[in-house]
Structure 1
Amino acid sequence: MRRILTSVTAAVLTVVCTLAALFLPAAPAQAAAHDPVLFVHGIYLDGPLTWTDMIADFEREGWDPGSLQMMNYNTWQSLEESAAEVVDEVAVLRARTGAAKVDIVTHSMGAPVVRWYLKFLGGTQYVDDFVSIAGANHGGLGVEGCAIQPACQDLAVYSPFMRALNSGDETPGPTTYTAVWSSCDELINPDVSAMLDGARTIWAGCVGHVAMASWPPNFDRAQNAVA
């Protein structure tokens, strides 16, 4: 009798488990983890507020708001000084999130600033993906006040900063590089100087320099680059 009861119990449990598998809702799929993202503005617009719309879109698309950080820095100082501040910003973001690596999205002058960090300050070991949007990657950013503004002097096409930054490998290390450029960029001259040798290059169409950071199609491009 005991053997019969045991067999019946096992059969009942099998039926219950089968029905549960068929009719109970499946556990929700866990969202894919994203690297934290540091956003680095350029010399124009309102500093880190450059990224308000893009960051809101990142959040809508599943990025943890706590993993999205805007950097603010003095846009008058030399680009090397600004690059040194990126070291600290990345360290803070990694410490706060516990991530081994971060992604960085830049606009305009922010691109050469971060590229200096990647190339000369050991940044490639901490940065998985780098995105340049309308980046002044080879200088040529038209800015008034170059006689007194160190950052603007560094942005000159043949400045010592630009010569060092673009000598040899423009996309060093294991970091992946994406450069988004516009053929109607009124401040990057020539427009193609926003490209990077060795990067994935994306043409954004005919979009103004400032608008490149807040143009919705570039939100998708940035997210795809760091996904």
Structure 2
Amino acid sequence: MLTPRQGFPALLTLCLTLCAALLAPTTALAAPRTAVRNPVVFVHGYNADPGVWGSLREDLRADGYADAQLFSWGYDTHRSVNEVLAGQLGAYVDQVRRQTGAAKVDIVGHSFGSLVSRWYVKYGGGTAAVAHWVSLGGPNHGTSTAWACALWDQACRDMTPGSYVVKNLAAGDETPGAVAYATFWSDCDEVVNPDDSVPLAGAVNVAVGCLKHNDLLGDDATSAGVRAFLAS
């Protein structure tokens, strides 16, 4: 039997133990949850390189992305979309997923990169590996300016209106699978002609106003729209 001197410390210890047990679940429930972000794979356009993504990468880092979540794919922009480039992009996406442990990635493409990444998503198994797909000024239904280099360049031929690539990407569902699609297009685009070649049926299509083709890469409002879409 405990004496009064012994009983008080024992009772105090019991009370503290019970209080800790009762408070623990409340503390756990109140703890903030960390948002889960997919790695982002950037796909640049014709005659460009991964360096074009500097501004958007900085904005994503400011939003909390780590460098280890941002990947800029570099490739030979004079090769065939369907025969070469889409398969190479698929292999790169698989590498990113293995490296990060992510089930899916988000893809942001500019210009010609939109066709390469769309072919991968639609015909290369990308619907199972891509969560969000974004096109900045992509010639999704072809551009007449590509005729200027189509005679000697396969990528230019792929971008011409009515090409094998353009026709097959437009066939059936333009935005297949459970992927979320968005396009951002300008009514002053000097490269994509006509301007409304960019929007896709089934996508979130955002008109950004009067911007030059490459200005889409550094425009603050466009960046904000892309980041909001990736977070949706």
What TM-score comes out, normalization by structure 1 length? 0.89
Answer yes or no: is the 8 Å Cα contact 2:144–2:194 preserved in 1: no
Is 1:66 the counterpart of 2:85 in the alignment? no
Determine the C-alpha separation between the residues in 2 that align with 1:28 and 1:126: 31
After superposition, the C-alpha distances for 1:107-134 in whole angstroms (9 at most, x for unaligned) are: 0011111110111111100001101111
Q: Which moved more, 1:190-199 or 1:6-15?
A: 6-15
Is 1:162 the counterpart of 2:166 in the alignment? yes
Determine the C-alpha separation between the residues in 2 that align with 1:9 and 1:75: 71
Q: Which has the higher helix share?
A: 2
Secondary structure at the counterpart of residue 106 of structure 1: strand
- Select the residue among 121, 125, 136 that pairs with 2:124: 121
- Select the residue among 31, 41, 49 that pairs with 1:47: 49
Aligned to 1:186: 190
Instruction: Give the aligned residue type for 2:150.
Output: C
1:14 CA displacement: 7.4
Count of aligned pairs: 222
Deviation beyond 2 Å, 4+ runs, structure 1: 1-18, 27-31
Is 1:201 the counterpart of 2:205 in the alignment? yes
Determine the C-alpha separation between the residues in 2 that align with 1:158 and 1:30: 48
Q: Percent of aligned positions with the same letter in both sequences?
A: 34
Is 1:98 the counterpart of 2:101 in the alignment? yes
Unaligned segments of structure 1, at least 5 residues: 19-26
Q: From the superposition, tell whether residues 13 and 168 of structure 1 become closer, same or farther in structure 2 (CA, over 3 Å).
A: closer
After superposition, the C-alpha distances for 1:38-72 in whole angstroms (9 at most, x for unaligned) are: 0000114x411110111111111101210110011
Please give the root-mean-square deviation of Cα atoms over the aligned residues, in Å: 2.5
Aligned to 2:26: none
What TM-score comes out, normalization by structure 2 length? 0.87
- Select the residue among 25, 37, 41 that pairs with 2:40: 37
Determine the C-alpha separation between the residues in 2 that align with 1:129 and 1:138: 20
Determine the C-alpha separation between the residues in 2 that align with 1:116 and 1:16: 56
